[in-house]
Amino acid sequence: MELLIDKVSKKFKDKKAVDNISLELMPGVWGLLGANGAGKTTLMRMIAGIMQPTSGQVLYDGVPIQTLGEGYRDVFGFLPQEFGFYPEFTVKDYLAYVAALKGLTERESRRRIRELLERVSLTDVYNKKIARLSGGMKRRVGIAQALLNDPEILILDEPTGGLDPGERVRFRNLLSEFAHDRIVLISTHIVPDVEYIATCHAIIRDGRLLATGTTEELVRLVEGKVWSCTIPARAVPEYESRLQIISLRNENDGSVSIRYLAENPCNDISVPSVPRLEDLYLWLFPQGGVENPKRTSRKKGGIHR
Ligand SMILES: Nc1ncnc2c1ncn2[C@@H]1O[C@H](COP(=O)(O)OP(=O)(O)O)[C@@H](O)[C@H]1O
Ligand SMILES: [Mg+2]
């Protein structure tokens, strides 16, 4: 099973929301990372077949998805970012309604809903109205509806918002179990949310694919660029003004431990720090996604542009 995104672009008037992206998705959990406005939702809609690319195409096992029609919908599950619920429906009725839309028989639908409610830990609230659920519970209803037809391809647009730490762990376990032999694509701008869930990542900025690879491969790109040291609290503003600080931690003795990104250490007390995926993301998005002219021509390793 393979999903091929082949030179896909989407233009809205003068704005290129997605710019010539090519990506081959194999079974496993994929993270689609990028700041707000990077083009994640637009790309996912085109993969879902609910938006036509301006150019390029998406192929499922070598066949363009437009020509698959209903057949594609049968193997596809989607949780949109702006997910419209029917607040007056109970969880059970809502899922039964979606199951009917997806063409499940009543018997299949009952069995599947029971199984899914258990897997997303919603069994206790299945008779409650959706309007009365917490944000995290609503997310889980959204995840359950995307899984109803047991899809081979599952696309989740920013699914981790509103989940508490316990729910995150359950969500991760659910997906790891599910992803065996299936393609799961999860978008987010919060890197730690997918760092351990996804085995591969695609990072996009300004509609362009910037880097792809496993967590280990991507993290290697910032190896030797992450440093840490402990400085007096009064020195923090000066360090902040000249360094890209990743994190600050106040120590008990009044000093501050800092982690920062730089080609070279900024003083002789800095030691190399083990890089994480978030460090690469901050390296690529130094101003949280605003283009940095100095970094647009970076070509090393798995970075494509
Ligand atoms: N329907 C649309 N009409 C015009 N511009 C759009 C539309 N949808 C998205 N865009 C623009 O395309 C860019 C990418 O948006 P989007 O795909 O939603 O990014 P993300 O999901 O990464 O935040 C943004 O600049 C956004 O304003
Ligand atoms: Mg989006």
pLDDT in tens for each of the 305 residues of the chain? 899 999 999 999 999 999 999 999 999 999 999 999 999 999 999 999 999 999 999 999 999 999 998 889 889 999 998 777 788 999 999 999 999 988 899 999 999 999 999 988 899 999 999 999 988 888 889 999 999 999 999 999 998 877 788 888 888 888 888 888 899 999 998 888 888 889 899 999 999 999 999 999 999 999 999 999 999 999 999 999 999 999 999 999 999 999 999 999 999 999 999 999 999 999 988 765 444 334 333 333 355 53
pLDDT of 288: 58
pLDDT of 8: 98
CB under 5 Å of ion ligand 2: residues: 40-41, 81
Q: Give the closest residue (by CA) to ligand 1 atom 26.
A: 37
pLDDT of 57: 97
pLDDT of 185: 96
Q: Give the closest residue (by CA) to ligand 1 atom 10.
A: 17
| Closest ligand 1 atom to 44 CA | 17
Kindly give the distance from the C-alpha atom of residue 73 to the centroid of ligand 1, in angstroms, as a whole number. 24
User: Cα(205)–Cα(132) distance, rounded to whole angstroms?
Assistant: 37
Kindly give the distance from the C-alpha atom of residue 37 to the centroid of ligand 1, in angstroms, as a whole number. 6
Kindly give the distance from the C-alpha atom of residue 173 to the centroid of ligand 2, in angstroms, as a whole number. 24
Q: In a mutational test of the pocket of ligand 1, which residue from 8, 11, 12, 189 has the highest number of ligand atoms less than 8 Å from its CB?
A: 12
Delineate the domains of the chain, giving CATH numbers in brackets: 3-219 (3.40.50.300), 221-287 (no CATH)
Residues with CB under 6 A from ligand 1: 12, 15, 17, 34, 36-42
Q: In a mutational test of the pocket of ligand 1, which residue from 21, 42, 43 has the highest number of ligand atoms less than 8 Å from its CB?
A: 42
**pLDDT (tens digit, 9 = 90+) per residue, 142-178?**
999 999 999 999 999 998 877 788 888 888 888 888 8
- Nearest ligand, CA of residue 37? 1
Kindly give the distance from the C-alpha atom of residue 4 to the centroid of ligand 1, in angstroms, as a whole number. 22
| Closest ligand 1 atom to 18 CA | 14
pLDDT of 298: 36
| Closest ligand 1 atom to 45 CA | 17
